[in-house]
Every structure is written in C-alpha cells, then in structure tokens.
Amino acid sequence: MTKYVLVSDNTLIHNFRNFPLLDFLPSAPASHVPGPVYKFLRGVPAPALPDGQAKFAPYGMRKLEISMLNQGIKSEDIAVAHPDHLQNFIKDDTEIVAVHTMDPMGLGPTTMSYYALFGGNEMRPWVRQEWDDLLAKINALRVGKKAKLMIGGPGVWEYTILNEEIERHKVDYLFQGEADDIGGHLFQQLTDGQLDPNMFNNGFITYDETFHRMQHKDPRFISRGSGIGAYPKLEDIPVITKPTTKGLTEVMRGCGIGCDFCEVTLRPLRYYPIDMIVKELKVNLDAGYNYAWMHSDEIFAYKHLQNYVPNQEALIELFSTVMAQPGVVRTNPTHGRISIPAAYPELIKKLSEIGRASSSNWIGVQVGLETGSDRLAKLHMPAKTLPLKIGVDGSYQEIVWKGVYNFNKYFWRPAFTVQVGQSSETDEDNWETVALINRMSNSVVEGRPFEFTVTPLYNMPLGRIKAKQVKSELTPSMLAVYYASYRHLAKMASRNANKDSKGNPFVKVGTSKIISVGGGLMFKAVEKIAKKQGLDVEKAKNWGMPKDKELESWAMVAKAM
C-alpha cells in the first residue's frame, strides 16, 4: 500500500548527456527539434530501483520526502516513484499523487525566448509535451480510484496564469511555496479532509511589477498560512537522506542583492552550516556520485560580509570541505555573480586550486549578466556588482569583461543569460549588450579564447501570456542580441562539442556531431529570422568591436590586477 506517491516531471530526471547547457533542451519547440534528436540528446533517465522507485530524484522532492517522514508519515506509506513504474504504486488505496515540476507548460524564461523568436501561439515546447504525457499517464492510472492529484514545485505559478489547464489536467490541489516544515502536515491534513487555517491558506502568492507580494484567494491553491511565516526557518529545514538527480545539494537559500526582476531576492538568507552540507553531500557520494553540485542563487553571497563583500574564509572553508570528502573529484556552484572574479581574482584562483580546476576540468557557473548597458544595470540591478560600483570601479561592461577574464584564467566557464524586453529598455541598451557579447567573443586570456556561453531570454509580459498572445514581437535591436548570442554559441559549439561530449565512443560522436551541427543550424535560423525582420546583420557582427583599441586597454587593466 502506498498512500502518497511522489513523482517528478520527466525533464528533471534525464542526464542530457551531461553536456553543458543541454538541460535547457526541453524548452525548445517540438516543431524545430525532431523527436529522435530530442530523445537522443535527452540521454538516459535516472535509474529505477528494483521496486520501481527512483534511485535519484530532484532535490526539492527529496526535501519533501524527508519532511513527510519527519512529520510522522510512515516510510511504507510514501513512494518516490520512477515515472516508468507508476503503475506499481498508484493503487486503490493511494490518497495523493504529488508531481514536482519546474516549467510544466513552458512559460519559463528560456522557453519564452523561443516563442518570441519563432512566433506562433501553439505553445508546444518539448517540456510541455513531456508534461502532458506524464499527466495523461497519471490520470489514466487514477481512473476509478480515489487518488487525488497535487502539483508542487517552482513551476506551480504557471497554473496561476493558465488556470484553465487545472481542469484540463484534472488537478485537485496545487501547493505553492517551501514546504520543509509542513510537508507531512499538508499530506496528512488533506487526507483527513481538513486543513489547519493557521498553517495553510487557500490561495496563492503573486507579485506586482514592483515585486510587492499579494495574496490571491483561490480554493484550488494551497500556500503557507499566516501563522507559520512565509518561509521555513533554517533550523526547520531537514537534511535529505536519499540521493538527488545530478548530485545536487543546496548550500543556502535567498540572495538579497535586490535585482528588481527577481523573486529570489525576497526570500530570507539562510546559510546551511558546513556539517549539514556534508551530511547531504555524503548521501549523494554513497550513491555513486564523484562530484558535488552546490546549489545556491548566489554562491558569492554565502555568509557574505557588509556591502556584499565575499566572505573569503567561509567560501574557502566551503569549497575545501566539499573537495575533502572521500570520492569527490570536482565541484561547481550553480550560480554566482560576475563582479566577484572582477574584484577578487586571488579568491577565484584559490577556489580553483581547491576545486582542482584545469583545462580539462572547468568549473561551470550560471551568471545573470542581463544587459551590457550601464543605464539598465544601474536601473534594474544596482547592487549586482557590489562591492564594486558601476561608474566608480569602471563601466558595467568593464566589470563584466574583467570578471570573465579572471574566471577563464582560472578555468571557470560562465554560462550567461542576457535579457531583452526589460522595462524602459531602448534600442541603444540592446546594442550595448551586442557590443559586450562581441567584445567577449573576440577576447583572449593568456592566449586562449574567452570561454563562455550566452543565452538570450525574453521578458514576456504576463498579460500577453494570459491572453495567449505570444507572437514574435522582437525588434531589430532585440534580434541583434539574439544574433550575437547564437553566433557566439555556434562558435563555442564547433570549438567544444567534441571535448565536452561524454559517453561511449558512439554516443560521444553522436552528441558532438548533433551539438556542433545543431549550433550552426540554430544560428542560421536566427540569422534568417533577423534578416527578415530588418536587422542589418553586418552591423550586428561588428558592433562594438575594438577599432578604438578599447579591448586592449581592458586587457591591460586585467593584466595589472
């Protein structure tokens, strides 16, 4: 008997050939990535255990599982099911099937950037195809049974926008928020048919354009009640006891930098103590991982000092402790900001030594650059360069360039995102972003070309998503940002596809070929759309290139550091 079945969105359990950036593949439209290519690049799913449970599960689902156990639900009543073996668990006595998702209907920023580019209202990215397939399977297994369907995880907000999908997907409950301290109570109370109004609220939290938090009543949604606080306290966050997909473990929550487009900044900072991180890491190492993927939204804010000066001692202790665990051969953080390598090259050098970074062991990190424009950076994210200040310590572009220089010098490879469609954005701002990408794409560090990827994201206003008006409205200057980004990505793909591909020789050759050819084809597709929309592609190719020796002067600054 399994009262509670937890299962993950299929896109979160495949290995995507362990190729950098390929985890974004489900965001691509099914109309442009043929099924066989998608299925090959998606790689293999995390394995199933003999009873049909998932050997590895997304980190958030592991947190929910331990929260349920800690709050009195018996382990035999919970199954973290592998999606291929759901029939082993969804039975007549199942009370709730809970599904964890990040981007169920393809409204995430990467997916939106493809809609904006390719146009069309059909909204059929692979992520949505996979979601529909999974829910159809679950709903078929629920027919004639009492099991209710609950959706949770960071992607729940999408049902607040496309709420007619709630009925279509036959969803009974949607839970929004962090549930570490209440997960068990939630499942128990739903089963008993009575939610404690102090602990739970019927409705969801939403935000206005200036990120003011608003409660919206809706009986189909459940969020944290006013009696327990908006977020769990650090001491109420449990330690996972079973391994996670891709060996991910969390080191902190929250950020606080205050970028005006980011919800994470509203969450309180909670730093996991080292012994808690080690306990979770050991769970993954015992399951066979030999690397540690440290999740935070801003690693350089870990126990930061005043004015977001990095706490070098704490970061060195964190990296050293992680790398000292028996079996760990490499580590990387998920996110970090670019001003820290710009201002603290010696810290990056030290962390690289600890992490044994080299030309064959790059430390990957996602970095939100968002723009190349001083004006927009100051307007939307004035604290993102702290402790450096734009204008005082150089232009935003100079800070970014120095950051990439130092990252690359010590074998860190940033995966950038840039935005188009930000509020009050002008064509000039977008061309500044183009200039930054072109300059970086043509820069070198110690004789090596700059190593980075850059993914353009489109800020789709929610009103247009609600109205299902997601047709392309990219202006030529926005398309110039896409053009410069995909031109650089094609260059990176042809340069690195072979050395970054993993697996047996057949898989390695297949992955490498598809990535290098696919990168070129994607660039050609962007070029065709951009030309059709009136972009002068010669201008986009050359914009910002250093006829004026600007790059050389930046290089001299970097060398002098």
Q: Say what the alpha-carbon torsion angle 528, 533, 535, 537 is, to the nearest 10 degrees.
A: 10
Which of residues 94 and 296 has its CB atom nearest to ligand SF4 in the complex?
296
Which of residues 86 and 367 has its CB atom nearest to ligand SF4 in the complex?
367
For residue 304, the SS3 value is coil
Which of residues 83 and 333 has its CB atom nearest to ligand SF4 in the complex?
333
Task: Retrieve residue 200's tokens.
Answer: 């739970």
The conformation of residue 78, written as its DSSP 8-state character, comes to E
In the complex, least distance from residue 271 CB atom to ligand SF4, rounded to whole angstroms: 15
In the complex, least distance from residue 301 CB atom to ligand SF4, rounded to whole angstroms: 7
Task: Retrieve residue 234's tokens.
Answer: 């650090």
Q: State the burial class of residue 538 (Cβ atoms within 10 Å of its Cβ: 0-12, 13-18, 19+).
A: exposed
Which of residues 297 and 374 has its CB atom nearest to ligand SF4 in the complex?
297
Which of residues 298 and 398 has its CB atom nearest to ligand SF4 in the complex?
298
Task: Retrieve residue 88's tokens.
Answer: 């082993």
CA distance 266 to 231: 10
In the complex, least distance from residue 416 CB atom to ligand SF4, rounded to whole angstroms: 12
Q: Rounded to a whole number, what is the largest CA-CA distance in the chain?
A: 73
In the complex, least distance from residue 483 CB atom to ligand SF4, rounded to whole angstroms: 24
In the complex, least distance from residue 366 CB atom to ligand SF4, rounded to whole angstroms: 10
Kind of pairing between the strands at 96-100 and 148-152:
parallel
Token look-up 């080299």 returns 358
In the complex, least distance from residue 339 CB atom to ligand SF4, rounded to whole angstroms: 10
Give the residues lining the site for ligand SF4 (CB under 6 A). 255, 257-259, 262, 264-265, 297-298, 337, 368, 381, 384
Which of residues 251 and 514 has its CB atom nearest to ligand SF4 in the complex?
251
- For residues 95 and 4, the answer to whether their CB atoms sit within 8 Å is yes
Task: Retrieve residue 408's tokens.
Answer: 């690359």
In the complex, least distance from residue 137 CB atom to ligand SF4, rounded to whole angstroms: 35
Which of residues 255 and 343 has its CB atom nearest to ligand SF4 in the complex?
255
CA distance 45 to 339: 36
Task: Retrieve residue 158's tokens.
Answer: 């999408």
CA distance 491 to 273: 41
Q: Is the dihedral of CA 284, 288, 291, 293 positive or negative?
A: negative
Which of residues 258 and 387 has its CB atom nearest to ligand SF4 in the complex?
258
Closest CA to 319 of 288, 294, 338, 285: 294
Token look-up 């169920």 returns 104
